[in-house]
Structure 1
Amino acid sequence: MEDALYGEKGFFVRRESGPGDHFRTSVHASGLFAVAIARIVERVDAALGRPERLDVVDVGAGRGELLTALLALLPDDLAGRVRAVAVERAGRPDGPASRIEWRGEVPDGITGLLVATEWLDNVPLDVIETDGDGRPRKVLVDRETGVETLGGAADPAEVFWAGRWWPGPGRIEIGATRDAAWAGAVDRVRRGAALCVDYGHRSAERPPFGTLTGYRDGRQVPPVPDGSCDVTAHVAMDSVAAAAGGPYRLVRQREALRALGVDGARPPLALASTDPAGYLRALSTAGAAAELIATGGLGDHWWLWHPIGVDLPPF
């Protein structure tokens, strides 16, 4: 998975296409998502006493779409104080504003907001499965065909993680790498907040057959790890939250966005007769909001919020 996504010919390091060409995230679905994040940036700024420099770090930044939108949406005074940092293992693409820093790793000493939208689902992981005798064994995958076989016994560390976070027989996606990645990112925030937005599950709702899959050109495809498609798996959100430590809140995206004013409510029909153009604009906005909060879709994503060094309600 590491090589298929981030190797020399990996899916996320190729320059001919970006993630938005293959799958639809909240960032790509509607500008209303950036509007909501901008409101959070303003709240973080106020809680920190409006510092001379406010860091806004986007981990798994794709082509810098979210940061570009935020710089355009924020008030001029605040936008002028923002240090915008895109963290992405692929090289800097054409397009993002020159003032957006492009880095391969999360910077240290962040004062502000760290946000990661659908990053952890692409942090590589291993998969184990219990065999007919109930023994946990490694799942091995042919790089070219995607055909799976059961290999040797699972490592003790994998068995330990599974026993804590994914007990029981079946197929288990070992989330320890995601735990370490998120804990490491949160640890880089000196004061402010960290926000993870991703699809995932909690202990009581673990999928017995796992979630590993692939995406290419907007379609779900077999997760063949040859670099031709995104290889992704849902995130064990409760494990990730616990790994980062400290206070946190975990809510569905629909709940968070509604609290931030994105509710998908249709405009009153009477507006159509008094202001037809305004009605159509409001209707379009409502449709975009509805996609972001939809049950069974983007609205099911989880928002994991960690305040760090400040008393900062989430939304």
Structure 2
Amino acid sequence: MKGLPTVDAPPAEQQAESRALAERIRSEIQDRGGWISFERYMHLALYTPVLGYYAGRRQIFGAGGDYVTAPGLGSLFAACVAGQVAEVLTALEMPPAVREEDAPREIVEFGAGGGDLAAMLLLELDRLGVLPDRYSILETGAALRARQQERIAALPGPIAGRVRWLREMPDRVCGVILANEVLDAMPFHRFRVQPDSRVSALGVKAAGDGFCWDPGRALPEAANLAGALGLPPGYESEWSRQVPAWVRTAAERLEAGVLLLVDYGYDRRTYYHADRSMGTMRCHYRHLAHDDPFLWPGLQDITAHVDFSGVWEAARAAGLTLFGYADQARFLVGAGFADIYAGRHREAGAGSQEAMALAAEARRLTMPGEMGEQFKCIALGRNLGGLSAFADGDQSHRLAA
């Protein structure tokens, strides 16, 4: 277990907000008989209106926040994704694509963060001459939605006018459903295999002014998983109910097009490897990673890696076809990363500050020790052909559970 290194305490105002959220969580624990699931605790810590991590006003992305996403590094990631999105939007205009005439070609982005990916995608698609009819952003947090709206408002009017904000998934989508670093933040259960091989949920109870783990209640779904994989006594990990449920819903709404998901994760066998006996849960606070989810509720992110085998199973059950699965480096290379980087490096000029920043961005996106290997990309579709990014380097065979 990796604890948190010594850091300065949050400002007094943030401490007060965290204590208020903690009191709200303790009240719910008391109302529920002294115990809640970790899934419920995580939901309250991240998504409680005003006080939750993703609902508050504090900066969470970028150098001044807690972590950096691929779009926050620069425009290379967005340029590669834009090329794949353009393939989908173009294909939807041509037979044999199945799309009703009145259905707009649409991009639906979940959890758009600060709006960087949306803005850069739209600018690149405009340059390619393949703008969507509509760009819908699903964002439940008021503060994040305001930041996104400010970012989009800076775009040229004809582009910004295509963007709308929704609170629920559209009934049908013809185009691309996109989620970058969204699945990892969906609340999950924690479990432990007991000495007698029973599988217990690691729940949460109050402990003084804070919280602590409390095992004991059964978690049948995790027990089935542990039994199938032969997980030994003492093994701890995560099991997600919400990720496959979300994937099924997204798949059912996708009338024609692609569901493109990017996140850190593994295939199931790698996820639940014997050496990963404490799971993958991580918390992020001021660019420091640790494993104490009870520290300053509402002021830190809580995540876990994604079981991409489970993602594929849920999508397949909803009728989608697997177009490809690969680590981020392979996906980006297949999407034309080398040519995009070379062109922008030439424009920047060798030895310039811009060129050096571009090189640093490229390394972060593609190197094995960085995002290149840790992050995975999966594309699932309906009524459409595949994506060129997976023509070489596809690793779909790894998803077999």
TM-score range, shorter chain: 0.7 to 0.9
Matches of 1:181 and 1:313 in 2, distance apart?
Answer: 23
- Select 1:131's aligned residue among 168, 189, 194: 194
Q: Choose the corresponding residue for 1:277, options 323, 330, 349.
A: 349
**Correspondence list, 1:247-258, <5 A:** 247-248=321-322, 249-258=324-333
In structure 1, what is the equivalent of residue 280 of structure 2?
Answer: 211
Contact 2:188 2:239 in 1 (8 A): yes
User: Paired residue for 1:122, among 178, 185, 189?
Assistant: 185
Residue by residue, what CA displacement relative to the aligned partner does 1:119-156 show, whole Å, maximum 9, x if unpaired? 0001101111012222111102346645323222x232
What's the CA shift string for 1:254-275, capped at 9, x where partnerless? 00001112249997xxx99xx9
Residue 176 to residue 266, structure 1, CA distance change in 2 (3 Å): closer
1:311 aligns with 2:385: yes
2:372 to 299, 305, 313: 299
Residue type of the alignment partner of 1:25: T
1:106 aligned counterpart, secondary structure: coil
Cα drift, residue 162 of structure 1: 4.1
Task: List aligned pairs for 1:159-308, cutoff 5 A.
Answer: 159-164=223-228, 166-169=229-232, 170-205=235-270, 206=272, 207-221=276-290, 222-224=292-294, 226-245=297-316, 246-248=320-322, 249-263=324-338, 277-278=349-350, 280=352, 281-300=354-373, 301-308=375-382
Q: In 1, distance between residues paired with 2:196 and 2:111?
A: 40
Name which of 78, 83, 97 aligns with 2:152: 97
For the residue of structure 2 that corresponds to 1:17, the secondary structure is: coil
Q: Is the 8 A contact 1:55 1:111 kept in 2?
A: yes
1:14 aligns with 2:67: no
Runs of at least 5 residues in structure 2 that lack an aligned partner in the other structure: 1-41, 95-100, 154-160, 390-401
Q: Say which SS state the counterpart of residue 151 (structure 2) adopts.
A: coil
Specify the code of the residue in structure 2 equivalent to 1:299: G
Q: Does 1:61 align with 2:112?
A: yes
Distance 2:205 2:370 in 1: 31
User: Which whole-Å CA distance do the structure 2 matches of 1:148 and 1:121 have between them?
Assistant: 21
Q: 2: distance between equivalents of 1:314 and 1:177?
A: 30
Q: 2:125 aligns to what?
A: 74
> TM-score, with normalisation over the residues of structure 2?
0.70
Change (3 A) 1:276 1:117: closer
**What letter matches 1:200 in structure 2?**
G
Name structure 1 gaps, 5 residues minimum. none
Shift of 1:108: 2.1
The residue type paired with residue 386 of structure 2 is L
Cα 1:161–1:107 change in 2 (3 A) is farther
Q: Structure 1 or 2: larger helix share?
A: 2
Q: Which moved more, 1:224-233 or 1:292-301?
A: 224-233
> Structure 1 length as normaliser, TM-score?
0.88
Please say if 1:5 is aligned against 2:52: no
Q: Aligned residues: percent identity?
A: 25
Distance 1:71 1:276 in 2: 22
Measured after TM superposition, the shift of residue 115 of structure 1 is: 0.9
- State the match for 2:3 in structure 1: none
CA distance in 2, matches of 1:111, 1:219: 39
Once residues 286 and 276 of structure 1 are traced to their aligned partners in structure 2, the CA distance between those partners, rounded to angstroms, is: 11
Partners of 2:341 and 2:379 lie apart in 1 by 29
Q: Whose radius of gyration is greater, 1 or 2? A: 2
